[in-house]
Structure 1
Amino acid sequence: MSKRLFIILVLLMSLSLVGIIFVQAYYINNSIKNEEEQFDFKVKRALIYTSREIEEKELEGYYFKYQDLVDQKKQADTVAISQLFIYQQNSDTNETLITRSGILEENYKLSSSLFDMGLDSLNIKRILNSTETKIYSNQPSLDNEINVNPISRIIKQGRLTEAERLILDQSFKIFASRKPIHKRVTDRDIFELLSQKLQEDGIDLDFEFAIYSNDLATKVQSDNFELQKASTFSIPVFTDEIGNHDYRLLVNFPKRNKFVQSSIIRMTLLSIIFTSIIIIAYSSALLQLFKQRKISEIKTDFINNMTHEFKTPIATINLALDAIKNPKVIEDKERVMRYLQMIKDENKRMHAQVENVLRISKLEKNELNISKDRVKLHDLIEDAITHVELIVEDRKGFIKTHLEAEKSSVLANESHFTNVIVNILDNAIKYSPDAPKIDVYTENVGTNIILKIKDQGSGMSKAAQKRVFEKFYREHTGNIHNVKGHGLGLAYVKRIVDDHQGHISVESEKEKGSTFIIKLPLIS
């Protein structure tokens, strides 16, 4: 797959995932809005119901009083009364409020006993289609102050016309408006009406309420009501015939948001869970794609490098063989022996490279049988140095040992662990541009022995230090290929050290060299 196509596929997959997330978020947001609108609608409907019910309940009470007056008059006199008289005695001010309404203009005189007002008699004059309220002092001198116009038909028929009912409603409301709000409706009435209607609509939620008059709180309110304009629902109560009002019923729900969200919380959680799974799966797949692409590039580099490594010794062997075939050379035994030694060395070199690859493959499959014996780490170090000291001397370098550990007995495989040290020393030599300068240290720390191999070579970057023990990894050096290798040596080193219950790490700085540190457990 080309790099351009790979990038396009990744972008398309990423856009699709982002699109899915936005769709889910949009759906959840719309669901919450719809639930909030439904909640608001149900609450407003409950408020309208409550307002209407308390108004109708108040009017109903006055109609009962009116009917009592009508029944009393039927028993007391043959002359019927169609007029409504509503009165209220005020013991504090010694005054009486009288509201009268009627349809016909007639005169009628009533005894005060009908209304039990404390007045001797009433003269009432009815003015067509009018409503009037007067205040009287509770004194006998008020006799004949009011004129009455009765309509006999109302009592005879026992029912009211629509016009008569409107007049009565108006009269009742005018009279009721003079009473304080806490005497017109109680906290319990509002609570019961609201609770009933809300529960019918599926809202089983605690609420607080209050009645306000011109933005001022009245005595009618629940214990914990707090005015929050942003989240408080309100509706006018006790309106007159043209819609004017002095009072508003306010309701708020302290746990409104939690209630609204609870209805879609399950679907939201499922959406979040499945979206998270998609994100995790997508991220993992994307990571694997990048890893596979990187591995593919590394393997390609490895094959190219391996081909180059094999090409050189094969070419050398071919040249040596062609030289030996030359009649002049074949008679020169010294030259023949030199060419044969060259062939042997190059063959050994190729064999060693193949062994490295096979060794790593066996380690990954856990097929490499590593038997361990009690060995002295210092002896392994000395043996490993002998493998590379000729190369170091040839490059005018040195290897100094500082074996200060008093105890160096470890449980290890002599062959493999010697290869570990040789590989590290070989790296120190290869990555030293000038004469190799290598120091080897050992020390005891607790129940462990620490081995440090320090060089003064080219060092490595921080990024390379994190990946130096990965298989096939080699630090990029641009177009410079002055150091040969397959990126397998240090991967082999780490696998062997791990198999010995040890730990290996590296400390390095560009142009200042590297230090490889191996920690192994001691045995008594």
Structure 2
Amino acid sequence: MKLPLKHIVILVICSLIGIFVYQAYWLTGLYRSMKMEMESNIRDAMRTSDFNEVVLRVNDLQKDNVEHGSLTVSAGYDADGNSLVTKQTISYTDSSRQDTIHSRTETTTDTVKTVGNASEDSKAVASSESGLDVLLKKQDSLKELLMSIQQGIHSGVDTYIDVNLQRYDSLLTHVMKEHNLSIPHHTLLIYTGTSADSSIVYTDTLGIAGDSSYIPSPKAIRYDYEFNMHHSQRYQLVFEPINSLVLKQMTGILVTSFVILLILGFSFWFLIRTLLKQKTLDEMKSDFTNNITHELKTPIAVAYAANDALLNFNQVEEKSKRDQYLRISQEQLQRLSGLVEQILSIGMERRKTFRLHPEEINLKELITPLMEQHQLKADKPVHIELDIKPETLVIVADRTHFSNIISNLIDNAVKYSKEEAELSISCRQTGGTVTISVTDRGIGIPLDKQKHIFDKFYRVPTGNLHNIKGYGLGLFYVKSMVEKHGGTITVKSEPDKGSTFTITL
């Protein structure tokens, strides 16, 4: 089934829109995914930097080779098996804090559930082998355990050495750079005072570090990281929204996607353009077939009628009639021969074996007989003015094809003139360049049609003039042959004022 061109164009446009929409959807999803990953990397960087900062302070404590205290962290599930219970206990052994114990217990709801009549012992503790296996297999539970250990160490070390905010910010900047997160920021150390019922009483900023030139905007994002077991202290990272940073990291993908969409768009446009050109070409071929069929049948029919009169109606005895019919037959056969030769020339000029046979040609001797032929055969008065300077101007060209070139231009000028044809042919030599111009005062060619007149099978609409015969090959042949001679042809025309065709060799 052959789809109409309109339906094909609609399908192509819908396909292109679908690809654009899918690409936009995919890029939006990728943007969100990369943004979430970047935010997760920032939070991980805060935790990792805090751990590294604590390790550095622990190393400072170990330099005096004295035991300062101990940390015990225990974890397990409650009796229902649904909540993770962690307990942190810090004991200090130095003289100022001897026998001092700080303890904190936290309960975190977990997704582990018990099925059936399991014993209480199997549900309860992480100290049993089965409980430890469950704890280690649950990523969230393991993360909570590690956080409890880190907070416990933090609280113990903070008792001896204060948090080094500048060092923490330096470590944080380094870790973020490893994740390609070089962003201006402030790092704050915040203390939160609470009452007995854990409600916040006051908040105080103990220190600030980071980029001194950075001034947070109202849209700035703030990430908090609580680092001690009492949840009374936290780091706060302040920075601008990371939308532009995400887009910057997506630059390669965005550019590639844009180029792909551009190529697809161009390909679809070229496809539609080609289909439209093919449709136009098919219509032109149909017109050409109709026109050339008529053009070929006419001389055959006339020559046949003349021969029939000579053979069957005793016209041979009258010399004047005989000569008239023979002349008619000869003219029609010459016309038929010219049509066939021109059609064959169109096909031959595309062959690789096609060769011109250049020779020296006197332009005056070539053009003058052509003028006389067209004046004689025209069905309207034709006045042609020839101006060649110098009169002995000679070019090197293929005589047959160059004669056809000039003949086609004169023929067009005569056909597209109105009641009376007035033409002028000008030949000039400037240095090594020869220009030949054929000018008429005919109906002219609209500007929007001029770019198509050298296309194969193209014919300019003639409005009310219905007696102009042709099949859209003449100017195509002229342009092809001029280019074969290494020259160019241009046209200047105005409707109702006439046209000028200029050949430059």
Relative to the length of structure 2, the TM-score reads 0.69
Match of 1:206 among 175, 178, 182: 182
CA contact (8 A) 1:454 1:515 kept: yes
Name the CA distance, whole Å, in 1 between partners of 2:6 and 2:410.
41
Name the CA distance, whole Å, in 2 between partners of 1:504 and 1:56.
85
| 2:209 counterpart of 1:220 | yes
Name the CA distance, whole Å, in 1 between partners of 2:363 and 2:261.
55
2:444 match: 459
Q: How does 1:57-136 map to 2 (within 5 A)?
A: none
Match of 1:311 among 297, 321, 345: 297
Q: Percent identity?
A: 26
Measured after TM superposition, the shift of residue 272 of structure 1 is: 4.4
State the Cα deviation string for residues 420-474 of structure 1 (Å, max 9, x = none). 1111111100111121001112233343122211100011112321121222211
Code of the aligned partner of 1:222: D
- Partner SS, residue 433 of structure 1: coil
2:126 match: none
Name the CA distance, whole Å, in 2 between partners of 1:470 and 1:328.
49
1:496 match: 481
How many residue pairs get matched?
Answer: 416
1:192 match: 171
Name the CA distance, whole Å, in 2 between partners of 1:359 and 1:335.
36
| 2:495 counterpart of 1:510 | yes
Name the CA distance, whole Å, in 2 between partners of 1:203 and 1:439.
79
Match of 1:295 among 274, 281, 293: 281
Aligned pair in 2 of structure 1 residues 404, 482: CA closer, same or farther (>3 Å)?
same
State the Cα deviation string for residues 214-249 of structure 1 (Å, max 9, x = none). 899965333443324435443276899687x8x862
Aligned pair in 2 of structure 1 residues 258, 446: CA closer, same or farther (>3 Å)?
farther
Q: How does 1:245-256 map to 2 (within 5 A)?
A: 249-252=236-239
Name the CA distance, whole Å, in 2 between partners of 1:380 and 1:439.
15
Measured after TM superposition, the shift of residue 298 of structure 1 is: 1.2
Measured after TM superposition, the shift of residue 211 of structure 1 is: 4.2
Name the CA distance, whole Å, in 1 between partners of 2:67 and 2:404.
118
Measured after TM superposition, the shift of residue 8 of structure 1 is: 0.4
Which stretch shows the higher mean deviation, 473-482 or 424-433?
Answer: 473-482
Q: How does 1:88-487 map to 2 (within 5 A)?
A: 158=99, 160=101, 162=103, 185-193=164-172, 195-196=174-175, 198=176, 203-211=179-187, 220-230=209-219, 232-235=221-224, 249-252=236-239, 257-258=244-245, 261-262=248-249, 268=254, 270-327=256-313, 329=315, 331-391=317-377, 395-405=380-390, 408-477=393-462, 481-487=466-472
Name the CA distance, whole Å, in 1 between partners of 2:227 and 2:345.
95
Aligned pair in 2 of structure 1 residues 68, 20: CA closer, same or farther (>3 Å)?
closer
- Partner SS, residue 160 of structure 1: strand
Code of the aligned partner of 1:445: T
Name the CA distance, whole Å, in 2 between partners of 1:194 and 1:372.
80
State the Cα deviation string for residues 106-150 of structure 1 (Å, max 9, x = none). xxxxxxxx98xxxxxxxxxxxxxxxxxxxxxxxxxxxxxxxxxxx
CA contact (8 A) 2:219 2:241 kept: no
Q: CA RMSD in A?
A: 4.3
Measured after TM superposition, the shift of residue 480 of structure 1 is: 5.4
Name the CA distance, whole Å, in 1 between partners of 2:230 and 2:356.
103
Please, which runs of 5 or more residues in structure 2 have no aligned partner? 70-94, 107-150, 191-202
Aligned pair in 2 of structure 1 residues 57, 490: CA closer, same or farther (>3 Å)?
closer
Measured after TM superposition, the shift of residue 268 of structure 1 is: 4.8
Name the CA distance, whole Å, in 1 between partners of 2:220 and 2:31.
16
Aligned pair in 2 of structure 1 residues 501, 60: CA closer, same or farther (>3 Å)?
closer
CA contact (8 A) 2:309 2:315 kept: yes
CA contact (8 A) 1:47 1:194 kept: no
CA contact (8 A) 2:104 2:229 kept: no
Name the CA distance, whole Å, in 1 between partners of 2:218 and 2:272.
50
2:85 match: none
Measured after TM superposition, the shift of residue 194 of structure 1 is: 5.8
Measured after TM superposition, the shift of residue 371 of structure 1 is: 1.5
CA contact (8 A) 1:406 1:444 kept: no
Which stretch shows the higher mean deviation, 426-435 or 338-347?
Answer: 338-347
Measured after TM superposition, the shift of residue 289 of structure 1 is: 2.2
Aligned pair in 2 of structure 1 residues 302, 452: CA closer, same or farther (>3 Å)?
same
1:96 match: none
Please, which runs of 5 or more residues in structure 1 have no aligned partner? 71-113, 116-153, 177-182
CA contact (8 A) 1:505 1:518 kept: yes
Measured after TM superposition, the shift of residue 39 of structure 1 is: 0.7
Relative to the length of structure 1, the TM-score reads 0.67
Aligned pair in 2 of structure 1 residues 446, 230: CA closer, same or farther (>3 Å)?
farther
2:147 match: none
Which stretch shows the higher mean deviation, 24-33 or 41-50?
Answer: 41-50
Aligned pair in 2 of structure 1 residues 388, 217: CA closer, same or farther (>3 Å)?
farther
Higher Rg of the two aligned structures: 1
Code of the aligned partner of 1:192: L
Measured after TM superposition, the shift of residue 346 of structure 1 is: 1.6
